[in-house]
Structure 1
Amino acid sequence: MKKFFITASMLLGSFATFAMSPEMSPYSNEIISKVQDYKEIKVSELPKAITEAFANDFPGATIDKAYVNEDKKYKLEVTTAEMSTTLYANEKGEWIEK
């Protein structure tokens, strides 16, 4: 009987740890800001270094959409003959792993 009460109290106590809403989580604001910090721009507004690097490294591919963040890092939605993907680059035209 003693084990039952200990197990039941541990089980009920564990529910409280999962009851925290996402708004209360200390990490939720950081995640949201990381996801939403890119602002859409026109493909024609991309720096020349990025467009040249893209043309050299991905011949035949097209840039569908372009985004930039405050750190001047660019997110490119790209379509190739085989697939669609997302690439990241800095303003110097160097590719970034994400």
Structure 2
Amino acid sequence: MKKLILSAAIILGAISAQAAIATNSVSIIQSVNIQDEFTEISADAIPAAVKSTIEKSFPGTKLEKAYKNEKNEYKLEITKDDKKYTVFTDASGNIIKK
């Protein structure tokens, strides 16, 4: 009889302990995309230093499109042999890694 009462007490204790532990896990993932807004410009609006850098660094390429942002950085889309490349430069013609 003692074993039956002891077994019942252990089982009830385990059940109540399991019910008392309620785990609620909430994970919040927040992502922020920061992107410099580039606006399209004509090829004539590109500074000579930028044009010179593109001609020297990427000979034989053709300028398809040019963009400029508020920081005076340039995004240039160039092509060579049906392959497209995107190059970022500053106003002085220095190539920027993005």
TM-score when normalising by structure 1: 0.69
Q: Distance in 1 between matches of 2:41 and 2:69?
A: 10
**Once the two structures are aligned, what percentage of the paired residues are identical?**
27
Corresponding residue pairs, total? 82
CA-based RMSD of the aligned residues comes to 2.4
Instruction: Specify every segment of 5 or more residues in structure 1 that has no aligned partner in the other structure, as ranges.
Output: 19-24
Instruction: Specify every segment of 5 or more residues in structure 2 that has no aligned partner in the other structure, as ranges.
Output: 1-14
- Name the SS for the 1:71 alignment partner: coil
**Bigger-Rg structure (1/2):** 2
Q: Distance in 2 between matches of 1:81 and 1:71?
A: 31
Amino acid at match of 1:90: D
TM-score when normalising by structure 2: 0.69
Q: How does 1:1-98 map to 2 (within 5 A)?
A: 1=15, 2=18, 6=22, 9-10=23-24, 13-14=25-26, 17=28, 28=32, 31-32=33-34, 34-35=35-36, 37-81=37-81, 83-98=83-98
- Name the SS for the 2:55 alignment partner: helix
More helix as a share of residues: 1
